[in-house]
Structure 1
Amino acid sequence: MDPLTLTDKEIRQFVKLDIDPLKVSVDKLSHNIGNEIMAILALSTSIQDLQERLAKMVVTSDCSGEPVTTEDLGVTGVLTVLLRDALKPCLMQTVEGSPVFIHTSPSSDIAHGNSSILADKMALKLVGPAGFVVTEAGCGAEIGLEKFFNIKCRYSGLQPDVTVMVATVRALKMHGGDQKNVNRLEFGCSHLRRQIENARAYGLPVVVAINMFCSDTENELEMVSAQARLAGAFDVVSCTHWAEGGAGAVALGKAVQRAAEVPHPFKYLYPLEMSIEEKIRTVAQRMYGVKDIQLSAQALNKIRLYTKQGLANLPICVAKTHLSLSPEQGRTGVPKDFTLPIVDIQPNVGAGFLCPVVNNVSAFSGADSPT
């Protein structure tokens, strides 16, 4: 048979991938896949789950708009073999002998920024029903905590009992516009109040831990404590664990224990059945305080494509700077009257979320683009 005489339909019948090579960037593809693999490791609950997630990774779309996955490329088995040992959490200990799991480090701007589900579940087994496990949600409550609840908790089936929010006087002064100006601290506390409000949106009690520095004054600590309580914090504790180890956080531990005894109707921020656009808008308005979102033509096309491909019910993972509630990293405090521009949406189907990309963030490098 002369291949030059084949019709388009006949070609598609035996051409498995049907990818336009001009629409695939190898450099961007390798970065994006690498970021997603780390997120997959963090969210997998077994070797079988790992393999299934790896198989679902979308590499690109074919000429008819259908997703091309790693399974289509025939590399799922190889990836699983390479990662099977990496799936096992690493047990270490603090200088005081407390057990610690260190496992996975997905970026908190372009991925969900949390440690692994397996580490959490193993830790819960080790401490028993009366014990406590502390797991970290990277960056601020509007990013790491939001993704922890809406992505990680959905896939793990675990529901936390308490949110612990760490704050420093120095950081709050920065959000007030001047790290050395005491008078700007109260203004900077607006950011803390907003983050407490964000955390309380999920129905859990919030304990604020003030990480004390030697330069902090009693008046400053009292101001932060008062502002946190005004925002609805269950308790506020000044901590000196950086200097005294575990002894400097005993009061914090007791506050967390008390908070865990309070009835707490945990809830997600949005239902998965909500449209992709409305999920983005819900997160942006309730967590960042935006007036509205602005979707580029490319983002709108991606929404239509992913809806057609059956991906609309995935949670979202907004890729934005962690240095501000706004898309501009230099805007401190609680910015007002701004719009969140979404320039693209990346499919992290293996990890199990869609990644809307804000205009000043690289979805591939894991860091803010230079401005």
Structure 2
Amino acid sequence: MTQTDSDGTVPPDVEIARNASRRPIADVAGEIGLEGADLERRGNGVAKLTWDAIDRELDAPADGNLVLVTAMTPTRRGAGKTVTTVGLGQALAQQGESSVVAIREPSLGPVFGMKGGAAGGGYSQVLPMEEINLHFTGDIHAVTAAHNLVAAMIDAERTHGNALDVEPDSVAWNRALDVNDRALREIVVGLGGRVNGPPREDSFLITAASELMAVLCLATDIADLKARLARIIVAYDTDGAPITIENLECVGAVTALLKDALRPNLVQTIEGTPAFVHGGPFANIATGTNSILADRLGLRLGDYLVTEAGFGADLGAEKFVNIVSREGIAPDVAVVVATVDALEKHGEAMLERREGPDDDGSEREPVADDRTEAVRAGCANLDHHVDNLLAMGVPVVVAVNRFPDDTDGEVRAVLDHCELRDVPAAVSTVYRDGGRGGLELAAHVREAAEPGSASLEPSYDLSMPIDEKIRAVATQVYGADDVEFTPQARSDIERLRALGLDDVPVCLSKTPASLSDDPGEAGVPFGWELTVRELYPSAGAGFVVALTGDVLTMPGLPADPAATEIGVDDDGSVRGLF
């Protein structure tokens, strides 16, 4: 049961989590047909599934409905996709459905940086929140260790004879750390004489950006994991030929570090709904969603699997349809999360663009008389994402994630707009009210997920040339007029073709703050071209990455890091996790 403070505010997430009554994990597992022998317990509230259980369940048919939670173009305040995912799973359970939630594991970077915890919030979060936000089952640490083992093997190869003829300037595999540290973006290794190896420039990325994380979330079993690891390109020789992890002869060692991390983690929501928290690939240069294994299990263990994709639908949902779904995981319905805050921001941009400057070139006075007018105008951005998903053959439900400062008029304006467009929509208050705050949303989802409602239509065919795949995403999904490829990008495309990677999906890295490649362009930009400046292979993950702007794969801490608010009481309880 939810409780608010006397002034109507919701207690801090950590306080709610600490006071929640948790069911034994065996009871949670039993609800979806798993037995005690199927679990490897990591404490009372966490368990990894055994391989026997995974193999057995994957032999069964996948009868569940996949609900993909995504969003309109978000603001810094966030859209609330994880909260909505967890809350919707709880709401479906309250309506008597067998539901399973699946989300990514939080990276320590955001936890200690700007975002804070990533286990949901309020009365729609996964438990145990403290453990999930910190070390959890060690999956991310395993990826960090495996990534750095490969980096060490490359430098050892160069130190001890360099039989693979590694060209030092072509080493594509850097080092990893699951903490935001801007000082490690560009470094030099091997200083201090021959005993420390040949010097070269290097860098660190955050563990979530490692290709190993993407591979972990796309692999279907240990054999598939080994095959994907073997083909990861880590460097090139002096003739330009690729050098892989298989060439370094460490596929077995890397697999040994990742084999347990490949098994999904079972926990529960604050209302006891079963939840998988597994994997955590970057949402820009990778798929930005949890693991294929967790999704496949959820579709067999529950009637509904509720999962989420990172960023807005132009990035997360697009990658889910064009990359993840090609692995056999297709959404039956998508929930697009909208907020008044985001609608207002995009609406102001639309109104300013519509009005333009005065005749003398000076800027006009603000064009929105009140926030509601801007919210209505901002629905153009919401429509863009809804239309994209409908064009991809996925039914859509809009969830208006209500914040305390939203007025009834503003919320009503969004619902009225959706009604005019004949798009199902509901207000979600799952942060404050738990599953009870998502019952109307759940009813719409159940209706939209009727058999035969979805007929997936990817944005491109895999047989298309790389540049045409990118153009398809840019024009159909982003709304660009065309694509400009820099000379470097054209050269990269030729190299990818020579590597035999012209028949795989493309993973476009673009700012999440805009539909365009300019983070300052809110609303629905028009009359613009997407610029692709560089491409590189993620051969193990099975896609090609196209960079359309500067991408920070190693974030830095902000001026006021969330780490300054975190502490530990004398009894060992962690406080300050948001």
Shared fold (TM-score greater than 0.5)?
Answer: yes
Deviations 1:207-238 (A, max 9, x none): 011111232233222221233344552x1111
Does the aligned pair in 2 maintain the 1:196–1:231 contact within 8 Å? no
- The whole-number CA distance in structure 1 between the counterparts of 2:390 and 2:163 is 49
| Higher share in helix | 1
- The whole-number CA distance in structure 2 between the counterparts of 1:22 and 1:204 is 44
Does the aligned pair in 2 maintain the 1:289–1:336 contact within 8 Å? yes
What is the SS of the residue equivalent to 1:198? helix
How far 1:294 sits from its partner (Å)? 1.2
Aligned twin of 1:166: 337
TM-score by length of 2: 0.58
Aligned twin of 2:205: 31
Which moves more between the two structures, 14-23 or 247-256? Answer: 14-23
Matched, 1:142 2:332: no
Amino acid at match of 2:165: D
Matched, 1:241 2:430: yes
Does the aligned pair in 1 maintain the 2:285–2:545 contact within 8 Å? yes
Which moves more between the two structures, 100-109 or 255-264? Answer: 255-264
Which moves more between the two structures, 33-42 or 243-252? Answer: 33-42
Which moves more between the two structures, 25-34 or 93-102? Answer: 25-34
- The whole-number CA distance in structure 2 between the counterparts of 1:240 and 1:21 is 54
Q: Which runs of 5+ in 2 are unaligned?
A: 1-160, 175-201, 350-367, 557-578
What is the SS of the residue equivalent to 1:107? coil
- The whole-number CA distance in structure 2 between the counterparts of 1:88 and 1:29 is 30
What is the SS of the residue equivalent to 1:214? coil
What is the SS of the residue equivalent to 1:333? coil
- The whole-number CA distance in structure 1 between the counterparts of 2:296 and 2:550 is 36
- The whole-number CA distance in structure 2 between the counterparts of 1:126 and 1:143 is 28
Matched, 1:118 2:311: no
Deviations 1:168-226 (A, max 9, x none): 11111122238983321122111101110111121111001111123223322222123
How far 1:160 sits from its partner (Å)? 1.7
Cα 1:26–1:57 change in 2 (3 A) is closer
Amino acid at match of 2:261: A
What is the SS of the residue equivalent to 1:164? strand
Mapping of residues 118-267 of structure 1, within 5 Å: 118-127=293-302, 131-155=303-327, 157-177=328-348, 181-231=371-421, 233=423, 235-261=424-450, 263-267=453-457
Mapping of residues 34-53 of structure 1, within 5 Å: 35-53=210-228
How far 1:331 sits from its partner (Å)? 1.3
Matched, 1:289 2:510: no
Aligned twin of 1:7: none
Which moves more between the two structures, 281-290 or 215-224? Answer: 215-224
- The whole-number CA distance in structure 2 between the counterparts of 1:120 and 1:98 is 15
Mapping of residues 67-82 of structure 1, within 5 Å: 67-82=242-257
Mapping of residues 300-315 of structure 1, within 5 Å: 300-315=490-505
What is the SS of the residue equivalent to 1:160? coil
TM-score by length of 1: 0.88
Q: Which of 52, 63, 73 in structure 1 is aligned with 2:238?
A: 63
Which moves more between the two structures, 25-34 or 39-48? Answer: 25-34
Amino acid at match of 2:299: L
Cα 1:25–1:253 change in 2 (3 A) is closer
How far 1:91 sits from its partner (Å)? 0.7
Q: Which runs of 5+ in 1 are unaligned?
A: 1-13
- The whole-number CA distance in structure 2 between the counterparts of 1:183 and 1:59 is 52
- The whole-number CA distance in structure 1 between the counterparts of 2:476 and 2:501 is 23
How far 1:259 sits from its partner (Å)? 0.5
- The whole-number CA distance in structure 2 between the counterparts of 1:177 and 1:42 is 38
Amino acid at match of 1:247: R
What is the SS of the residue equivalent to 1:88? coil
Q: Which of 459, 465, 485 in structure 2 is aligned with 1:275?
A: 465
Mapping of residues 74-113 of structure 1, within 5 Å: 74-113=249-288
- The whole-number CA distance in structure 2 between the counterparts of 1:55 and 1:187 is 50
Amino acid at match of 1:342: V
Does the aligned pair in 2 maintain the 1:192–1:228 contact within 8 Å? no
How far 1:337 sits from its partner (Å)? 1.3
What is the SS of the residue equivalent to 1:216? coil
Matched, 1:20 2:167: yes
Aligned length: 348
What is the SS of the residue equivalent to 2:324? helix
- The whole-number CA distance in structure 1 between the counterparts of 2:420 and 2:203 is 47
What is the SS of the residue equivalent to 1:345? strand
Does the aligned pair in 2 maintain the 1:275–1:313 contact within 8 Å? yes
Does the aligned pair in 2 maintain the 1:137–1:148 contact within 8 Å? yes
- The whole-number CA distance in structure 2 between the counterparts of 1:290 and 1:361 is 20
- The whole-number CA distance in structure 1 between the counterparts of 2:509 and 2:422 is 28
Does the aligned pair in 1 maintain the 2:513–2:520 contact within 8 Å? yes
Which moves more between the two structures, 177-186 or 343-352? Answer: 177-186
